[in-house]
Structure formats: structure tokens, C-alpha cells
Amino acid sequence: MTEARLAVIGHPIAHSLSPRLHTAALSAAAKPGSYVAFDVRPDSLGDAVRGMAALGFLGANVTIPHKEAVRLYCDRLDGGAAAVGAVNTLKFTETGIQGYNTDVGGFLAALGSGIPGWSPAGRAALILGAGGAARAVAFALQGAGAGRIGIANRTADRAAALVAAVGGDPNLRPEDADLLVNCTSVGMGSEESPFADWERLRPGAVVCDLVYRPAETALLAAARARGHRTVGGLGMLAHQAALTWRIWFDEDPPLAAFLAAAHG
Ligand SMILES: NC(=O)c1ccc[n+]([C@@H]2O[C@H](COP(=O)([O-])OP(=O)(O)OC[C@H]3O[C@@H](n4cnc5c(N)ncnc54)[C@H](OP(=O)(O)O)[C@@H]3O)[C@@H](O)[C@H]2O)c1
């Protein structure tokens, strides 16, 4: 069996949990391979991607700030990556470089396993944020048949652009929402919460936070205290990583290893 060369590229990259997850998965599956983190400056992105292809890498994950720019170096994009306008997974093949977005499927898988039996189909969802993660979640919810999608963002123009892109509802209020998803970076490494309108949120609404450090964010703690069901960011992190495995190896991923490494 040939050794699988894998990597994550970003700038900065030291904070990334991807090496821990993928190294644990390679080990659990007894697959020969290595997964390394490369700090790649924006002006070196093309050289880095072409370099990995030339060096025989099987695949790579792509993180901030390269998820949009890396599309330039892909020969093909899958449907999710094209819709979202961002790539978080590359596969180097004999016929070129393929770009994927596993945040879309990773979010839906984490929601499905976090709240078994609950589906966003026909429901109203309020997304906080309008960056790359918000775009992935918005298109995921659109694809899953969400009835109404609203976006609230610090920069109103970006919210309006994303609402228009997904055919969302610019007037969706917290009291309409069956699902609240934090896709801002607020709460990452802090005690801040991106949401305070708890009296207005529909009772029974599901609350998700993409932020995964800390695992129990201030948003999730406040939601739980008010009786909302919650889904934290580590599940999505594990599921999107497992989906990249499926793309690279074309086989079922060792999901338990990804989940254990994420929560470890
Ligand atoms: N769990 C997972 O698997 C997973 C996957 C992807 C991302 N994430 C997490 O999701 C978060 C967002 O990632 P991203 O890639 O979308 O980042 P991004 O493209 O940089 O977008 C950041 C978003 O957060 C908002 N924001 C930042 N600081 C804010 C503040 N102080 N107050 C209010 N809003 C603020 C920004 O609003 P403006 O538009 O006004 O700047 C923007 O909407 C990060 O914490 C990331 O780690 C988790």
C-alpha cells in the first residue's frame, strides 16, 4: 500500500486541530500515511498547491484565509464547493486538482447526530454571521429543504448578499426561528456570546454553535439553561474531517476515531 501524503494549509495554521484528527484516523485505520500542517502565505498559495500536486500528495485541507482563493487552482469543483464559493478539501488526481466543501455535509451530519430525528426541512433557521462558514451552513440548510433562512451579521451588506444568494428571508426574526446557528467567530477562546435576545427566541428552538473552543461556549450554556437543545462545534469538525477521508480514500471513514480525537 502506498503511503498517503496529506496536509492542511492555512495562515496562521498552528491552531488547527486537523492534524490531530487525521493522524488519529490514519492510526485507527492502520493506513500508512502522514498528515502535516503548512503555514502558507496568501502570495504563495498557487506555488503551495502546485507543489503538493508535484510531490505526489493525495489531498489537502484548506483553511482560513485560503478557502476562496484556492478555487483558482482547482481544475474542477464539486457542486457544494461551487455553490458555496469556497473549497476546504483538495484531491490531487491524475486528471487534475478537485475542490470540495465538506463543511456543508459536515454541518448536516453533526446536526443529525446531535439531535437524532430532527430535520431542518420546512423549518425556519436564523444564521448569525455571513462569512465562509455561514455560507456553507446557509447552502446546507437550503439543500436540506429549510423553509426560511435568515441571516444576522455585524456587517449588514454581507448579510443581505448571503440572504439573496440562498433565496432567504431578510425579515426573519428570532421569534420565527426553529434553529439558531452561530457562524460568527464570537466566543472562540472567549466568554462572549453572539446572541442575547433569549426572550425572543422561539421556545424549543435548536441552538448550534460552530465555535468549538471552548467545547461548551457561552452561547450553548445560555441556551441549555433555557431548555433549548444544543449542538456544539466539535461534532461538525469531526464530521467534515470524516467526509474528507471519504473523498480521499473512497471508503468509509473511521468516524469514531475522528469524534474521539475532536472531543479529546
Ligand atoms: N466546527 C467547525 O467544523 C467549523 C467549520 C468552519 C468554521 N468554524 C468556525 O466558525 C467561525 C467562523 O468561521 P468563518 O470561516 O466563517 O470566518 P470568517 O469568514 O472570517 O467570518 C467571520 C464572521 O464572524 C463575524 N464576526 C467576527 N468578529 C465579530 C464580532 N466581534 N462581532 C460580531 N461578529 C463578528 C464576521 O462579521 P463581519 O462580516 O461583520 O466581519 C463574519 O460574519 C470560526 O470561529 C471558525 O472556527 C467551525
Query: For position 11, which CATH number holds?
Result: 3.40.50.10860
192 belongs to a structural domain: yes
Per-residue pLDDT of the chain (264 residues; tens, 9 = 90+): 789 999 999 999 998 999 999 999 999 999 999 999 999 999 999 999 999 999 999 999 999 999 999 999 999 999 999 999 999 999 999 999 999 999 999 999 999 999 999 999 999 999 999 998 999 999 999 999 999 999 999 999 999 999 999 999 999 999 999 999 999 999 999 999 999 999 999 999 999 999 999 999 999 999 999 999 999 999 999 999 999 999 999 999 999 999 999 998
Residue 132 one-letter amino acid: G
* Residue 114: inside a domain: no
Give the mutation target among 16, 183, 185, 209 for probing the ligand 1 site: most ligand atoms within 8 A of CB. Answer: 185
The CATH code of the domain that includes 151 is 3.40.50.720
Using CA positions, which residue lies closest to atom 19 of ligand 1?
A: 131
The C-alpha cell of 240 is what? 467534515
Using left for φ > 0, alpha for ψ between -120 and 50, and beta otherwise, residue 227 falls in: left
Cα 208 from chain centroid? 12
Q: Do residues 183 and 256 both lie within one domain?
A: no
185 CA closest ligand 1 atom index = 45
Indicate whether 221 and 130 sit together in one domain: yes
Residue 95 structural domain? 4-101+236-263
Question: Are 133 and 64 in a shared domain?
Answer: no
Atom of ligand 1 nearest to the CA of 106: 3
Torsion of CA 27, 105, 114, 146, to 10 degrees: 180
195: CB partners within 8 A, 6+ apart: 128, 180, 182, 201, 219, 222
Ligand 1 centroid distance, CA of 183 (Å) = 5
Task: Say yes or no: 134 and 153 in one domain.
Answer: yes
Same domain, 60 and 96: yes
Ligand 1 pocket list (CB less than 6 A): 64, 103, 106, 129-134, 153-155, 158, 183-186, 188, 210-212, 233, 236-237, 240
171 and 203 fall within a common domain: yes
CB 168 within 8 A of CB 174: no
Q: Are residues 64 and 128 in the same domain?
A: no
How far is it, in rounded angstroms, from Cα 150 to Cα 148?
Answer: 7
C-alpha to C-alpha distances, 72 to 48, 77, 88, 97, 205, nearest whole angstrom: 13, 10, 13, 10, 39
Determine, yes or no, domain membership for 107.
Answer: no
Q: Are residues 124 and 148 in the same domain?
A: yes
Q: How far is it, in rounded angstroms, from Cα 254 to Cα 246?
A: 10
Q: How far is the CA of 30 from the centre of ligand 1 (A)?
A: 35
Number of structural domains (the chain) is: 2
Measured by CA distance, the residue closest to atom 30 of ligand 1 is 186
Phi-psi region of 134 (alpha: psi -120 to 50; beta: other; left: phi over 0): alpha
Specify whether the CB–CB gap between 59 and 35 falls below 8 A: no
31 flagged as catalytic: no
